[in-house]
Amino acid sequence: MAMMDYRNAFQFDGKVAVVIGGGGTIGREIARGFAQCGAAVAAADIDLQSAQETVNMLGYNGREHMALCADITNLTSAFTLVESIVSIYGRIDFLVNFAKRHVRKPALELSEQEWNEVLDTNLKGTFLVAQAAGRVMKAQGSGRIVNFASISSSLGLKNASACASSRGGITQLTKALAHEWAEWGVTVNAVAPGYFKTNQTASLVCDPQKHADIMSRLPMRRLGEIDETVGPVLFFCSPLASYITGQTVYVDGGRPVD
């Protein structure tokens, strides 16, 4: 067995990373992390302009990056996305499923349409892209998939029934795919963020009462910084995590232990 090169464990030269939701705040930072480590990045988003802005920010690292528009809730669109990436790069080494939809509303006020939109994007979309990429990775005999859950995967957060259901489903989907695909050299893990400084949490931060309530529940007494989501993703894709699969790591300032 070859000796582990710990010093260069995050050197991804020659690798291809696909970031779903690559036009968003966190997705963009994840794309930047892969690019800095030498990977070619395919940033996919329902908003092509946002995905292109991500690619423009990445610049050139010796590999050409690409922006793609995809509606991952649609089977044909998800598979066409993967086919387009493979046609350009010939392979997919890493897939990060970060597309998300959230409706903050009491369960009694949640419409069927809102429920479907959240579940279709978060859970169904994650499955469809993973399925398409999984077929490519099976043929390669290798691959790393990192799904995104959230703290609502394990906590029954108020006014988040649809999101909690979808994210809880992602943790179980991650385990199921990890079990099925391990024999092909494909690992499947998940990252579950807590409260981070994003546009989505801006309203909570601006409300003194809500902000104080959140802080009281966080042992570290602060919101997460965007770049603090990137480390676990890169770790799961590195040789250091080659024997880890089916796991969900919570990046949340310690909330579940509070």
pLDDT, tens digit (0-9, with 9 covering 90-100), for 196-244:
776 666 666 667 777 777 777 777 777 778 889 999 999 999 999 999 9
Query: What is the pLDDT confidence band of residue 51, given thresholds at 50, 70 and 90?
Result: very high
Percent of the chain's residues with pLDDT above 70: 95
Contact 143, 185 (CB under 8 A): yes
Tokens of 149: 């859950």
Q: Which residue has the higher pLDDT, 252 or 186?
A: 186
Q: Where are the domains of the chain?
A: 12-196+225-257
Tokens of 253: 């300032």
Distance of CA 236 to the CA centre of its chain: 12
Average pLDDT over residues 37-57: 97
CATH class belonging to 12-196+225-257:
alpha beta
What's the predicted TM-score (pTM) here? 0.93
Rg of the chain's alpha carbons, rounded to an integer?
Answer: 18
* Per-residue model confidence (pLDDT) at position 1: 56
Q: What's the length of the chain?
A: 258
Q: 134 pLDDT exceeds 90?
A: yes
Q: 174 pLDDT exceeds 60?
A: yes
Nearest to 216 by CA among 169, 159, 254: 254
Distance of CA 2 to the CA centre of its chain: 30
In whole angstroms, what is the distance from residue 143 CA to residue 209 CA?
A: 45
In whole angstroms, what is the distance from residue 77 CA to residue 202 CA?
A: 32
Q: 258 pLDDT exceeds 50?
A: no
Ordered DSSP codes for the chain: -PPP-GGGTT--TT-EEEEETTTSHHHHHHHHHHHHTT-EEEEEESSHHHHHHHHHHH--SSS--EEEE--TTSHHHHHHHHHHHHHHHS---EEEE---------GGG--HHHHHHHHIIIIIHHHHHHHHHHHHHHHHT-EEEEEE--GGGTS--TT-HHHHHHHHHHHHHHHHHHHHHGGGTEEEEEEEE-SBSSGGGHHHHHSHHHHHHHHHH-TT-SPBPGGGGHHHHHHHHSGGGTT--S-EEEESTTGGG-
161-181 vs 125-140: helix axis angle to the nearest 10?
10
Q: 162 pLDDT exceeds 80?
A: yes
Q: 11 pLDDT exceeds 80?
A: yes
